[in-house]
Structure 1
Amino acid sequence: MSEIYYLCRGQDDNIGDVVLRRVLARWSAECGRIHVFMGAASETFVASTLASVGGDVKVYTSKRKWMIGLFRDTLRGRGVLVFNPGEQRLEMRTAFSLVPLLTIQALARLKGGRPALRVGVCLKRTVGLGSRLSETLVRQSVRMSAVNAWRDTETTVRFPGRPSCDLAFAEGLQEREVSIARKRQILAVSLRPDRPLDLAFAADVISSFAHAHQLVVVFVVQVRRDADLARRMSKLVPESRVLDWPRQVGHGEQEAAVRALYRESRYVVSDRIHALIVAVTEGSIPIGFASASDSKTRTHLSAAGMLHPEWSREEANAEDLTEFAAFASETPAWGDPLRAARAELAVVHEKFVEAARG
């Protein structure tokens, strides 16, 4: 029986980080006993991430104990290392964290044991010695991994492995249900606060677009740290409201509320990739809202075969947004690229299970 050691760390205030890690937790649990390192994650983050996991699961808050278990089961030929999905920055901290994992990968190869698996990952370059060193170590780790499936087009170009897409595409509505966005009456907006933004101008553009298309604007808090910006924007857009995330509301409850709203939304405008992905999986039409220097939304949706409009923060205007929305609305049913994305993930899932079970 395989002992699956899943490195599962995410941002505790982020619903998207739960969604993609839940998919990989479910896959891992199909292959054996699962050992999940989640650090200091909150109770509801853990519960939501492991909500669909059946069978034997052990959650670790100590990385040292998790590593000792992985080392022991690797010596026995039963340990399988599953890398953390999501974005990984190539920096010195990444290099330091990879050294013990590389040692275990080398030990597994020497002992003829189970392989390491890396799925739903994108690698983001930084600058300096840390970036170069961590990239070198990642390449060594990739060579010793049985499955490497990248979630964005940029990583696919730079590293060997399988071009794939984000694990979050596996959740949500069935494809046959994703076809009625034109009948919906909500414009959902989810914006991050750590990018330059002229609030009054953006509010005016959003308000004008919503009025022209007879849509109700709802500012969505899918990441807790976005709440203040959502409230400020709502005050500037007449008749809008906020889907907030109160402290007493857990991850599972908030995700359900966000998904329910997206199922009523014609468009979702966002610079957060998992707002756009969750929107697509709930039948809404995604419109990226990004700076010229930020390619994340474009590279992740493109990896799933989804050509989509991107509204520029620097040059935003209502006419452009209307053109982008028209382009998106005329795109063939979003259920088609979603079906293709899920078919790709099904192939990766099969390879993952085959490798993990040995």
Structure 2
Amino acid sequence: MRDAFVQPSGQDDNLGDSALRAGLLRALTHAGARVHVHLLGQTSDYVSGLPHLSNGALYTDRKGWLLSAESVPRPVYVVNAGEISPHADQPYPQPDRAREMERVVRRGGLVIAAGLGLKDLETAATVRFDSVLREAALVSWRDSGSRDAAGFGRVAPDWAFAEGSSTSAWRTEGDRPYTAVTLRFDRPWPDDSWISAVRGFAKRTGTTIATVAQVARDAPRAVQLAEVLNGHYLGAPSTRHDDLDRHVRGVYARSLAVVSDRAHALIMGATEGAYPLGTASDPQKIERILAVAGLGALTGHHDSIAGRADRVDSERTGLEAAVQASRAAIQSLTTRIRGVLDL
């Protein structure tokens, strides 16, 4: 059994951040690794959203984590999954992280980077990706745009597609009374035409609008949306990510569609059988992430949501196959990880 060292850090109040890292940690375990997790500074709310590792180890001290990596034969350094924002004309990873990875490789270990996504594709053209990442044993990006911009590695859907309900357990379309809505707190408020389009979709489908916040900072916006959309704000019982995960999945499982500019709200909705209707003032990131899963057809700018909402009925028929294909692709990536660990 190989020892894999990973720091699955993320924003403490962002359920999507723990959800995608949960997928990565489960994959490493399924691939046969003993997982050593470094979680310096993360709150108990965030940690509650990560899977329990029965044969792993948890570290709150980075020095102890690194010393443990130096004490085992052929360690595996796992780059944290999720969004990365390397600076233009700068090296990536940063020199101190690159040196950590190089020490692992010199000792006969290897580097895995699975599930990366670039925030800004234009910046990537000038980033100096370190050879220790370029030549890693496995590199996988969560969207084709990131892979093409970086110029190396393969592509697989976001780890969060591996989470959620089996498609066989999904409720039927007639047993989905909600249209779920959640928007980022830090983006422009949508205009009246967007409000009318979302109201119109709910009226046409005979659903009630339910707003949620799977990022704590989005809660005030969710309350405001419920008011202007004549809907209901459904608050979670606590800020613990395990509670929040159960809550929002429960809403999405009863929703015909999820309307959001949060990538992981759209992904988690899809994995519960709610069609992802992506809408944003700048939709390029969510378009890329959903496209690799075959679910990007109805994602776009706020201004064009009315026309896209009219096509939800026809696109919904392909949701189950798209989620199943995404999970198969993630299973294939997990098998690739196992193959690398067996080398």
TM-score, normalising length from structure 1? 0.86
1:98-247 paired onto structure 2 within 5 Å: 98-111=94-107, 113-125=108-120, 135-136=127-128, 138-158=129-149, 159-178=151-170, 180-181=172-173, 183-198=175-190, 200-238=192-230, 240-245=231-236
Greater mean alpha carbon deviation, residues 183-192 or residues 203-212: 203-212
**Among 319, 333, 339, which residue is 1:348 paired with?**
333
Q: Name the amino acid aligned to 2:242.
A: G
Distance 1:32 1:183, change over 3 A: closer
Q: Deviations over 1:69-97 (max 9, x none)?
A: 33x23xx5331101101000112898486
Deviation at 1:199, TM superposition (A): 5.5
User: Alignment RMSD, CA only?
Assistant: 2.5
Alignment correspondent of 2:65: 66
Q: Which moved more, 1:42-51 or 1:12-21?
A: 42-51
Q: Which runs of 5+ in 2 are unaligned?
A: none
Distance 2:156 2:164 in 1: 18
Match of 1:84 in 2: 80
1:224/1:245 contact within 8 Å kept = no
Q: What's the CA shift string for 1:158-182, capped at 9, x where partnerless?
A: 2211121101111112233447235
2:243 corresponds to which letter in structure 1?
Answer: E
Paired residue type of 1:77: P
Question: For residue 339 of structure 1, what is the amino acid of its counterpart?
Answer: Q
CA contact (8 A) 1:220 1:244 kept: yes
Which residue does the alignment assign to 1:334? 319
Q: Secondary structure at the match of 1:49?
A: coil
**Structure 1 pair 96/300, CA: closer, same or farther in 2 (3 Å)?**
closer
Tell me which residue corresponds to 1:37.
38
Once residues 179 and 269 of structure 1 are traced to their aligned partners in structure 2, the CA distance between those partners, rounded to angstroms, is 18
Secondary structure of 1:82 counterpart: strand
In structure 2, the CA distance between the partners of 1:349 and 1:270, relative to structure 1 (3 Å rule), is same
Note closer, same or farther for the CA distance 1:244–1:121 as it changes in structure 2 (3 Å cut): same
Q: Distance in 2 between matches of 1:200 and 1:39?
A: 44
CA contact (8 A) 2:259 2:277 kept: yes
Q: Distance in 2 between matches of 1:41 and 1:167?
A: 20
Q: Give the Cα–Cα distance (whole angstroms) in 2 for the partners of residues 287 and 321 of structure 1.
A: 8
Separation of aligned partners in 2, 1:24 and 1:254: 19
The number of residue pairs the alignment matches comes to 341
Q: What is the distance in 2 between the residues matched to 1:80 and 1:251?
A: 28
Indicate if the aligned counterparts of 1:270 and 1:289 stay in contact, CA closer than 8 A.
yes
Query: Per the alignment, in what secondary structure is the counterpart of residue 76 of structure 2?
Result: strand
Is the Cα contact below 8 Å between 1:32 and 1:357 reproduced in 2?
no
Question: Which residue matches 1:290?
Answer: 280
Shift of 1:33: 3.0
Residue type at the aligned position of 2:140 = A
Closer/same/farther in 2, CA of residues 127 and 281 from structure 1, 3 Å limit: closer
Q: What is the percent sequence identity of the aligned residues? A: 26
Q: Provide the rounded CA distance (Å) in 1 between the counterparts of 2:112 and 2:24.
A: 11
| Counterpart Cα distance in 1 of 2:290 and 2:121 | 22
- Gap runs ≥5 in structure 1: none
Q: Do residues 253 (structure 1) and 243 (structure 2) align?
A: yes
TM-score, normalising length from structure 2?
0.90
In the other structure, the counterpart of 1:266 is: 256
Shift of 1:275: 0.6
Q: Distance in 2 between matches of 1:312 and 1:132?
A: 25
CA contact (8 A) 2:74 2:110 kept: no
Give per-residue Cα distances to partners, 1:138-170, cap 9 Å, x unaligned: 352332311111101211212211121101111
Q: 1:323 aligns with which of 294, 310, 325?
A: 310
Q: Once the two structures are superposed, what CA deviation does each residue of 1:291-315 show, in whole Å capped at 9, x if it has no partner? A: 2x431111111112224212422x2
Structure-2 change in CA distance of 1:94 and 1:78 (3 Å): farther
CA distance in 2, matches of 1:92, 1:150: 19
1:194–1:42 Cα change, 3 Å = same
User: Are 1:11 and 2:11 counterparts?
Assistant: yes
One-letter amino acid matched to 1:141: V
In structure 2, the residue corresponding to 1:235 is in which secondary structure? helix
